[in-house]
């Protein structure tokens, strides 16, 4: 992979207001999950999204052909925040050969027997690839903290480990893009109700999600600390207003597109003519 140093993520002007600036202390309560920016309707955003997903597919093809750098997209958010749906919409045109999605659930015994980053590192992208983490190493400072699966000194020390890990990935040629999908408690309830009512959504409903919902404030605090402690110059967080699916998709797609514009992946040059002369196509 193409190593880079000093380590700094591309500065993206588009939707910069959703970036958590390194060193800034954000509070979730100060950010409106229902924000739709300058967009008035889902139709308007939907039309623009169509163009963006095609551009993402084109960039992905170039990244794959170039085979020098990689992109890791991290999606986090409370249950029903829209992680699955963001994958489905934003990467819908990408070639599965170069774009893979990893959904992280409860760790297995073997995974638990290792350091917390072990299972994630195995699934980071090779040169040319986009990998999307649907949940990620951040669960180890979120659910692990809220459910008290590890004592505080353990999960707290992980902020530094995560920052070091991501810094290493970036240095070695992987762009790390992190999205926190921010929904309101009311919107989560609507989504749960929809899961109960719709036959095609029942499978997404889990009684344990309702139990987790009772710890809403604990999750808020855990997310605030995680965003504040791990938004770094090399891998900043973006906080996405996610109560409106169409706006969430649009903002994520725009930030992904802008990141690719900055990366500017290139098709490799044409073969050397002198090499071609020696080929016999007859
Ligand atoms: P879902 O994303 O709805 O399929 O649910 C996956 C479940 O796995 C969620 O309840 C997560 O909190 C849980 N999970 C994911 N990663 C971890 C982890 N590192 N430790 C404990 N639970 C986890
Ligand atoms: Mg779930």
Tens of pLDDT, residues 21-36: 999 999 999 999 999 9
Closest Cα to atom 22 of ligand 1: 106
- Please indicate whether residue 187, judged by its CB atom, sits closer than 6 Å to ligand 1: no
- Please indicate whether residue 105, judged by its CB atom, sits closer than 6 Å to ligand 1: yes
Alpha-carbon distance of 99 to 34, in angstroms, equals 30
pTM score of the predicted model: 0.96
Closest Cα to atom 4 of ligand 1: 105
Closest Cα to atom 7 of ligand 1: 105
Distance 271 CA to ligand 1 centre (A): 47
Closest Cα to atom 5 of ligand 1: 105
- Please indicate whether residue 282, judged by its CB atom, sits closer than 6 Å to ligand 1: no
Distance 69 CA to ligand 2 centre (A): 32
pLDDT tens per residue, the chain (282 residues)? 877 665 788 777 778 899 999 999 999 999 999 999 989 899 999 999 999 999 999 999 999 999 999 999 999 999 999 999 999 999 999 999 999 999 999 999 999 999 999 999 999 999 999 999 999 999 999 999 999 999 999 999 999 999 999 999 999 999 999 999 999 999 999 999 999 999 999 999 999 999 999 999 999 999 999 999 999 999 999 999 999 999 999 999 999 999 999 999 999 998 888 888 888 887
Closest Cα to atom 12 of ligand 1: 143
- Helical pair 83-90 and 245-263, crossing angle rounded to 10 deg: 50
Q: For residue 278, what pLDDT is reported? A: 80
- Please indicate whether residue 219, judged by its CB atom, sits closer than 6 Å to ligand 1: no
Q: For residue 272, what pLDDT is reported? A: 86
Label the pairing between strands 70-76 and 130-134: parallel
Q: For residue 279, what pLDDT is reported? A: 82
Q: Residue 10's Cα: distance from chain center in Å?
A: 16
CA dihedral over 169, 227, 245, 52, signed as positive or negative: negative
Q: For residue 6, what pLDDT is reported? A: 58
- Please indicate whether residue 214, judged by its CB atom, sits closer than 6 Å to ligand 1: no
- One DSSP character per residue, 49-70 reads HHHHHHHHHHHHHHHHHH-S-E
Closest CA to 55 of 269, 282, 255, 272: 255
- Please indicate whether residue 173, judged by its CB atom, sits closer than 6 Å to ligand 1: no
């Amino acid at each position: 992979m193409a190593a880079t140093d000093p380590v700094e993520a591309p500065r993206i002007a588009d939707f910069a207001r959703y970036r958590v600036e390194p060193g800034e202390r954000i509070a979730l309560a100060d950010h409106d999950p229902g924000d739709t920016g300058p967009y008035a309707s889902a139709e308007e955003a939907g039309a623009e999204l169509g163009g963006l997903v095609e551009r993402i597919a084109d960039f992905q093809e170039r990244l794959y052909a170039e085979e020098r750098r990689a992109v890791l997209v991290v999606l986090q958010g409370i249950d029903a925040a829209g992680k699955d749906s963001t994958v489905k919409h934003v990467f819908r045109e990408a070639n599965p050969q170069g774009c893979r999605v990893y959904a992280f659930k409860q760790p297995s015994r073997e995974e638990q027997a290792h350091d917390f980053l072990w299972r994630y590192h195995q699934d980071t992208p090779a040169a040319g690839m986009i990998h999307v983490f649907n949940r990620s190493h951040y669960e180890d400072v979120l659910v692990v903290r809220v459910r008290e699966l590890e004592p505080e000194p353990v999960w707290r020390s992980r902020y530094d480990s995560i920052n070091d890990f991501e810094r290493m990935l970036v240095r070695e040629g992987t762009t790390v893009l992190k999205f926190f999908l921010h929904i309101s408690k009311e919107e989560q309830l609507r989504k749960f109700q929809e899961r109960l009512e719709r036959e095609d959504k029942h499978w997404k409903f889990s009684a344990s999600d309702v139990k987790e919902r009772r710890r809403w404030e604990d999750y808020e605090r855990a997310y605030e600390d995680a965003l504040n402690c791990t938004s770094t110059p090399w891998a900043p967080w973006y906080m996405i207003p996610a109560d409106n699916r169409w706006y969430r998709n649009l903002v994520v797609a725009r930030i992904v597109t802008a990141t690719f514009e900055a990366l500017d992946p290139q098709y490799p040059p044409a073969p050397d003519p002198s090499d071609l002369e020696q080929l016999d196509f007859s």
